[in-house]
Structure 1
Amino acid sequence: MSGAGPLVPPAGLTIAIPTYRRPGAVARALRAVLAEAPDADGPVEILVIDNDPHGSAREAVAEAAAPSAGAGSAPGAAVRYVVEPAPGVSAVRNRALDETADRALLIFIDDDEEPEAGWLRRLLSTRRDTGAAAVAGLVVPDYEAEPDPWLRAGGFFDRQSWPTGTRRPVAATNNLLLDLGAVRAAGVRFDEAFGATGGEDAMFTRSLVAAGGVIVWCDEARVRDRVPAARLTRAWVLRRRRSHAATAVRVELALAGPGVHPGIRARALAGGCARVLAGLGRMALGGLGAGPGRGLVHRARGARLAARGAGMAAAAVGRGAHREYGRP
């Protein structure tokens, strides 16, 4: 690291925490982010955006931000709470862009995550030293209960990482720093068509790169993602794998612009069917026995591959979208 220049530009930094009906979780996230605020060399604003029209997180946020809460007394950190009544993750993330029209930097972190020590300084240092339009960091699962061996063997919660400074073509928004000057110059916002299904972050960051922005990876800027026991089931992980694969195809179609795009659909359908067949074949191999432990790996990873293929094929014919963030 060069050490030149301020970590936080004079126009300032906002850390946004979107939330929806998880007051206990967002309070934990807020306290953890407040503990990181002293690592910045300038004032930090923490913006909690509640997507519940009834403002169910207001009291929990106020308590977590109070000086008596310990971390809330961090110097230079101000906490602001707003309600975004329009449903969906895109509306919440666009509200963050609107609320930071006069700021230089914006960081997104989810309400079920807590940063590890040094997270903020590492994100800021990487951005300063690279001049990147965005910096993405690693999300590490933190299980509420021990996953069963099948889930472990399938690697369903494993996240890929790269050496710090690696350029990336796309990034998630659950641990992402944005240079708002670059975002405004690119004219990008979060697409409301992905508000209920997710995928708005892939659409946004790919559009940012297409406009000339650079995304780099910071492997040391890590957050821990709380994985509740309710998600540690085969049904949940396979449904999410199908949904994410379908959403990726929908992003490709949206980036291609208006039209049917038969070529993209044909490739997705063929690729999806091939993955389903390969996945089923691997599951069958696991059932035949492939040495100690290998059978379980084949069965779990085969099911994962088949689920991905099913999502791709469904999206190719206009189906497969799961409203993960839809209102009940």
Structure 2
Amino acid sequence: MTFPTNADPLRADPARQVVTLTVAVLTYLRPEGLRRGLPAIVEQVRAINADHSVLANILVVDNDADGSAGTFVATLDADLVRYVIEPEPGIAAARNRALDETGDSDLLVYIDDDERPTADWLRPLVATWRSSRAAAVMGRIVPEFSGDLDPWVAAGSFFRRRSMTTGTEIEVAATNNLLLDLQQVRDLGLRFDVRLGLCGGEDSLFSHQLTRRKARIVWCEESAATDFVPVERSGRRWVLMRTLSHGNTTSLVAVFLAETGAQRVGGRVKHTIGGLTRIGGGCARGIFGLATGSLRHEARGLRAVFRGAGMVAGAWGFTYQEYARPTSTVQD
């Protein structure tokens, strides 16, 4: 499959093209994270604009209908930072609002409100896009812990993040450090699925839809954002429930991607078997860990059990609403 190209001859040669770029920061009731990361994003946007090959700006999408982030955003450079409120709860709605608000941009970069870009974050994303012409470019996420990890969590290596050579093609991407070529996204008519607003996984579904349509996602090792991990997100319970959520959305995404009834049934059966296998194998590994005193085997085994349980539930349409708000709406 080929994608239409803009009639502008500069688009045929990305190395010569002056591109417009929007950095979208999605936020919901995380004032400290926003204060920590947004000024650093402003600095990088100013720096890349000084190169005169990119015209960049920042869009803050506040998913709090009361606009709680507005006061802080108003203290920043109004020429660079624009602020909108997306009242529909859910991360998918906020991501779609960013797509809608950047209709005139060539590129859109998503970064979360609990992340802070490293010193050289934005330029490598753009450079990798220029050299690859990929529909999406994903950068690294580096965890930063607010305190010491529980030894059980540390033994399980649960916060280990991906690392690979720049230009490596990947099948699925998260949107917490992701550049999108908006022309290709528009040509494919893709948006984030609001059915996954309560449980997450909307970025996995979106990126799978990209690659299924022969669009390319490539890795950028040089671009990194630091993910701040507070104490409440570094303990056993949070790790296990996040694992259950990931297993759940893995199955849900597979079912949503099915194009026929037979494929949906096959996907349900496949992920049920896969989930049950993980539960069985995880139980065995966890028991082995307990018997031998190995925290790693104990932790990894229990994690497999939770992932398997999530997969089985998702295969048959049951969702774990990880981001549910107290009023049955969604937390980003």
- Compute the TM-score of the two structures, normalised by the length of structure 1: 0.90
More divergent stretch after superposition (31-40 vs 171-180) = 31-40
Cα distance 1:300–1:155, how it changes in 2: closer, same or farther (>3 A)?
A: same
Partner of 1:274: 277
Match of 1:56 among 68, 93, 103: 68
Match of 2:325 among 301, 324, 327: 327
CA RMSD of aligned residues (A): 1.8
Q: Contact 1:245–1:309 (CA<8 Å) still a contact in 2?
A: yes
- What SS class does the counterpart of residue 74 from structure 2 fall into? helix
Are 1:90 and 2:92 matched, yes or no?
A: yes
Partner of 2:305: 306
Partner of 2:55: 43
Once the two structures are superposed, what CA deviation does each residue of 1:77-127 show, in whole Å capped at 9, x if it has no partner? 710000000110111000001001111000000000011111111111101
Are 1:33 and 2:32 matched, yes or no?
A: no
Partner of 2:119: 117
- What SS class does the counterpart of residue 167 from structure 1 fall into? coil
How far off its partner does 1:218 sit? Answer: 0.5
- What SS class does the counterpart of residue 80 from structure 2 fall into? strand
Q: How does 1:5-24 map to 2 (within 5 A)?
A: 9-24=17-32
Q: How does 1:232-311 map to 2 (within 5 A)?
A: 232-257=234-259, 259=261, 261-289=264-292, 295-311=294-310
Match of 1:227 among 226, 229, 249: 229
Q: Contact 1:8–1:124 (CA<8 Å) still a contact in 2?
A: no
CA distance in 2 between counterparts of 1:94 and 1:325 reads 17
CA distance in 1 between counterparts of 2:166 and 2:18 reads 25
How far off its partner does 1:7 sit? Answer: 7.0
- Compute the TM-score of the two structures, normalised by the length of structure 2: 0.89
CA distance in 1 between counterparts of 2:189 and 2:314 reads 28
Q: Contact 2:200–2:322 (CA<8 Å) still a contact in 1?
A: yes
Q: Contact 1:245–1:311 (CA<8 Å) still a contact in 2?
A: yes
CA distance in 2 between counterparts of 1:118 and 1:170 reads 24
Q: Contact 2:111–2:178 (CA<8 Å) still a contact in 1?
A: yes
Q: Which runs of 5+ in 2 are unaligned?
A: 1-12, 327-332
More divergent stretch after superposition (7-16 vs 201-210) = 7-16
CA distance in 2 between counterparts of 1:122 and 1:131 reads 14
Q: Which runs of 5+ in 1 are unaligned?
A: 68-76
The amino acid of 2:303's aligned partner reads R
CA distance in 2 between counterparts of 1:126 and 1:8 reads 14
- What SS class does the counterpart of residue 12 from structure 1 fall into? strand
Match of 1:149 among 144, 148, 151: 151
CA distance in 2 between counterparts of 1:232 and 1:195 reads 23
Q: Contact 1:11–1:102 (CA<8 Å) still a contact in 2?
A: no
How far off its partner does 1:318 sit? Answer: 2.4
